[in-house]
Chain A
Amino acid sequence: EDQVTQSPEALRLQEGESSSLNCSYTVSGLRGLFWYRQDPGKGPEFLFTLYSAGEEKEKERLKATLTKKESFLHITAPKPEDSATYLCAVWWGGATNKLIFGTGTLLAVQP
């Protein structure tokens, strides 16, 4: 069964304490992997797209990487404003762009 699993479910960091979030998947024929950030009461906000193993993307304190079985979202020296739920989604649906989402990692960064 196609599945996307994110870990940990929740993570609490001190400001400046770097860490990584994991997204593992068991989807055949991966076409792409997406990372989103979601703040409470809002819709997911797009962060990155990764298409092939070995690819990396960076934006400010965030860096996303992809292997054949998983993706990591590395957060370097986080700030309290990085607190949010981070979602990953796998694209498997061909031209219709259907996504399978993980349940997210709730990140709290304390000052």
Chain B
Amino acid sequence: DAGITQSPRHKVTETGTPVTLRCHQTENHRYMYWYRQDPGHGLRLIHYSYGVKDTDKGEVSDGYSVSRSKTEDFLLTLESATSSQTSVYFCAIRLSGREQNEQFFGPGTRLTVL
């Protein structure tokens, strides 16, 4: 499982509250990614990181921010949660090695915004 954990695994919150999801890896991978998965849309990239303090936007980044102050942790923050952000969130890492380009995914966080 590439040593990826996500916390919390489930969360219910109310509209307008801030929410932070954590992705933790144990193997010093450089690249980390946050996706959301919704019925009919597949997995969509929110933000990604290519090193400590180096992050960039994906295709659905509005309403989300990220931070990476340590190699092992990549945080996703919803500053003010909305019902449209109800989703399953997956973190992924990319293996660091020659000819290794696969992304490996964490177990996911199910977020419900009421």
Which residues in B have some Cβ–Cβ distance to A below 8 Å? 31, 40-45, 48, 50, 56, 58, 90, 92, 94, 101-108
Contacts and interface: CB of A to CB of B under 8 A. Distances in A.
Contacts of A101: 42-44
B49 to A, nearest CB: 10
Contacts of A43: 90, 92, 105-108
Nearest to B43: A101
B101 A32 contact: yes
Nearest to B2: A46
Given A43-B90, A96-B50, A101-B44, 10 more contacts: A4-B42, A31-B101, A42-B108, A43-B105, A45-B105, A46-B102, A89-B43, A91-B101, A101-B42, A103-B40
A104 B56 CA distance: 26
B42 A34 contact: no
B31 A96 contact: yes
B105 A44 contact: yes
Residue from A31, A97, A102 with most neighbouring chain B CB atoms (10 Å): A97
A42 B48 CA distance: 21
A36 B104 CA distance: 10
20 contacts: A34-B102, A36-B105, A43-B92, A44-B90, A44-B105, A45-B105, A46-B102, A87-B42, A89-B43, A96-B48, A96-B50, A97-B94, A97-B103, A98-B45, A98-B48, A98-B58, A99-B45, A99-B103, A103-B41, A103-B42
B103 A34 contact: yes
A31 B104 CA distance: 18
A49 interface: yes
Interface in A58-111: 87, 89, 91, 95-99, 101-104
A95 B92 CA distance: 16
Contacts of B92: 43
A46 B104 contact: yes
Nearest to B110: A41
Contacts of B50: 95-96
A41 B9 CA distance: 10
A96 B56 CA distance: 10
